[in-house]
Amino acid sequence: MNPSKNYIFIPVIIKTSLDLPPLWGRLARLSPLGAELVSQFELPAGRVVTLSFELRDAFEDIRARITAALQDSDGYFSYSLVFLDPAQSALLQAALQ
């Protein structure tokens, strides 16, 4: 990733299940290996989610696992994510260059 490019606060749709409506949030940090996600919705660490967002092109259903979750004083949750699919990570790396 080119360190001079800083992609922050990218709107994102979060899917937790095919049976549940999608949630929303924003990516506060994005790299080919993972991201920091901010949302008002509470999700447990260890959960697998899919993310859809726009970054040059549309990225749909990027699989990620929540590795850590913290709630701030305003009630928003900050999630550390790791991406699970190497092919999706390679596409992200190309978009971030």
Q: Looking at residue 17, which CATH number applies to its domain? A: 2.40.10.220
Let me know if 80 is exposed, middle or buried by CB neighbors in 10 A (0-12, 13-18, 19+): middle
Confirm if 62 and 85 have CB atoms less than 8 A apart: yes
Tens of pLDDT along 43-60? 999 999 999 999 888 999
> What pLDDT was estimated at residue 78?
97
Domain of residue 86, residue span: 10-91
In a domain, 72, yes or no: yes
**Residue 2 confidence class, pLDDT cut points 50, 70, 90:** very low
Number of domains in the chain: 1
Alpha-carbon span 70 to 3, nearest angstrom: 26
Give the whole-number percent of the chain exceeding pLDDT 90: 84
**Residue 3 confidence class, pLDDT cut points 50, 70, 90:** very low
In a domain, 1, yes or no: no
In a domain, 97, yes or no: no
